[in-house]
Amino acid sequence: MAYGHGKVILFGEHSVVHGRPALARAVSQGVEVRGKPSPASVTTLHIDPWKVDLDTGAAANRGHEALQRALKIARAFYPKAPFELTLRADVRLPGGAGMGSSAAIGVAVLRAMDEAYGEVRPDEDIFKRSLEWEKVFHGNPSGVDNAMATYGGMALYVRGQPLAPLAPSPPIRLLAAYSGPSPSTERMVSSVREQFEADPQGVGRLFDEIRDIVHTGKSALEAGDHATLGSCMDANHERLIKLKLSTDKLNQMVAAARAAGALGAKLTGGGGGGCMIALVKGQEEHAAVKAALAPFGPVYDV
């Protein structure tokens, strides 16, 4: 099946762009793409739930230029393709919400193309190709989104290094809640870069603090110490506030989740809007946190 996983970042968004580690987990939602040979002279991509239709034709698809550019990049990986494709994407993730929808679509499109053209490719190549797809959307992506979209599971990611899978026992239970649209991840990444250029020492220190939080969080996860894991999420959120990545609404949601019994909560992904995540323990806390977050927007079991 041509599938790409969505993801949430537990620790380390943004600092991962600057060479620090991030800890991420694929979510149960993702993207499935089906490809069929088409008699047309262009490959088309239909993103069903978003009512988006685009193709690799010369004319720009108004409003979806980035997706069209990415589709052309994907199609160009098959210079000897004997026919064009009709691709249909079923996206079961909120778009532009910090859950890695663009990377998941990219991975699923590339896998659907392989399937349709009868090619067998290692995941490592899907990861590399999907990074080219991601560059269209994020400019300077660290690769964490498309690594998670490709491999799934839970892992520690450092730019330029192979993904280091983690299998925590007991498993953790997370809720994600959507605060509303965010400026593009590319804009948020540029804003952090500008802050870093203006104050390399201060912002570099924040990145290092986040790196330490990632390592403490990883050890807590491996030890099954979910209380420490939760405090690490809180500590990471504080650093993301300092990097001007949070919003009043995200902060209210984080506070509401904690007040309702979450062990920890933070924004996830690019920030400036999008999603936050909360770590919940038992069934009761899960229901209470879900109810506390519901008035703010859609809540997802991830």
| Token pair listed for 132 | 């080219």
Annotate each residue in 146-185 with x if it binds ligand PMV (CB under 6 A) or - if it does not, as one string: ---------------------------------------x
Residue 4 binds to ligand PMV (criterion: CB under 6 A): no
Q: Site residues for ligand PMV, window 41-100 (CB under 6 A)?
A: 98, 100
Residue 14 binds to ligand PMV (criterion: CB under 6 A): yes
Which residue, 74, 68, 81, 132, is CA-closest to 108? 74
CA atoms in the 13 A half-sphere facing the CB of 175: 32
Residue 106 binds to ligand PMV (criterion: CB under 6 A): no
The only residue of 21, 35, 269, 272 in contact with ligand PMV, by rule CB under 6 A? 269
Are 268 and 176 within 8 A, CB to CB? yes
Annotate each residue in 215-244 with x if it binds ligand PMV (CB under 6 A) or - if it does not, as one string: ------------------------------
State the minimum distance, in angstroms, from the CB of residue 81 to ligand PMV.
Answer: 29
Cβ closest to ligand PMV, residue 93 vs residue 292: 93
Contacts of 63 (CB under 8 A, 6+ apart): none
C-alpha to C-alpha distance for 10 and 215, rounded to whole angstroms:
12
State the minimum distance, in angstroms, from the CB of residue 191 to ligand PMV.
Answer: 11
The only residue of 2, 10, 16, 87 in contact with ligand PMV, by rule CB under 6 A? 16
The only residue of 6, 141, 152, 217 in contact with ligand PMV, by rule CB under 6 A? 141
Check whether the bond before 170 is cis (ω within 30° of 0). Answer: yes
| Token pair listed for 43 | 């490959």
- Sheet-wide strand order for 299-301: 264-267, 275-280, 173-178, 299-301
C-alpha to C-alpha distance for 83 and 38, rounded to whole angstroms:
7
Residue 112's identity, in one-letter code, is A
**Which residues contact ligand PMV by CB under 6 A?**
9, 13-14, 16-17, 98, 100, 138, 141-142, 144-145, 185, 189, 269-270
